[in-house]
Amino acid sequence: MPSTPDYAAQLRNAELRVTRPRVTVLEVVHARPHAATETVFDAVRAVLPGVSRQAVYDVLHALTDAGLIRRIQPSGSVALYESRVGDNHHHVVCRSCGVVADVDCAVGEAPCLTPSAHNGFVLDEAEVIYWGLCADCSTTQSLRSHP
């Protein structure tokens, strides 16, 4: 059993052509959960110096559409990409530094939450974002308010 994910197989299973930019973007997103587009571009460019910004954008879009990565965008944030897909997990965001962490499903199976009305929609996912202060920022804030 390989110790690293087989990105080429993931691409083939999603009926996408295996290209070096696609494999590299998958590697980057797996290595950097909740990476901003610019972070992904810079990391891909370090491996593939000739890749264009548009090519990375196109790959991110294709991988998101294929369900190989997930795009999230908390209010006030740029788009972020993660490789954890298909489990309907949620996120917690620090109001101070903006760090994002995964939080398992609020309750039960997807979509985790039951709305009071679904207006005829067939629901398959719920997106929840919790806001607060991360451990580092809450400690810093406590230190500032208690000299």
- The pLDDT tens digits of the residues spanning 82-133 come to 999 988 788 899 998 989 999 887 665 555 666 777 778 887 777 788 899 9
92 CB neighbour count, 10 Å cutoff: 16
Binding site, annotated residues for Zn(2+):
94, 97, 134, 137
94 touches 133 (CB < 8 A):
yes
CATH for the stretch 7-72:
1.10.10.10
What is the reported pLDDT for 29?
A: 97
Q: At what angle do helices 53-65 and 20-31 cross, to 10 degrees?
A: 70
Binding site, annotated residues for Fe cation:
109
Residue ranges covered by each domain of the chain: 7-72, 86-145
What is the reported pLDDT for 125?
A: 73
Question: Which of the pair, 58 or 118, is modelled with greater confidence?
Answer: 58
CATH for the stretch 86-145:
3.30.1490.190
pTM of the predicted model, to two decimals? 0.81
Burial class (CB in 10 A: 0-12, 13-18, 19+), 124: exposed
Which tens digits make up the pLDDT trace of 59-75?
A: 999 999 999 999 999 88
Which tens digits make up the pLDDT trace of 13-48?
A: 999 999 999 999 999 999 999 999 999 999 999 999
What is the reported pLDDT for 44?
A: 98
Res 81 pLDDT > 80: yes
134 CB neighbour count, 10 Å cutoff: 18
Res 1 pLDDT > 60: no
Q: CA 67 → CA 72, 83, 97, 134, distances in Å?
A: 13, 9, 28, 29
* Distance between CA atoms of residues 127 and 88, nearest Å: 8
Q: CA 51 → CA 13, 30, 73, distances in Å?
A: 24, 19, 25
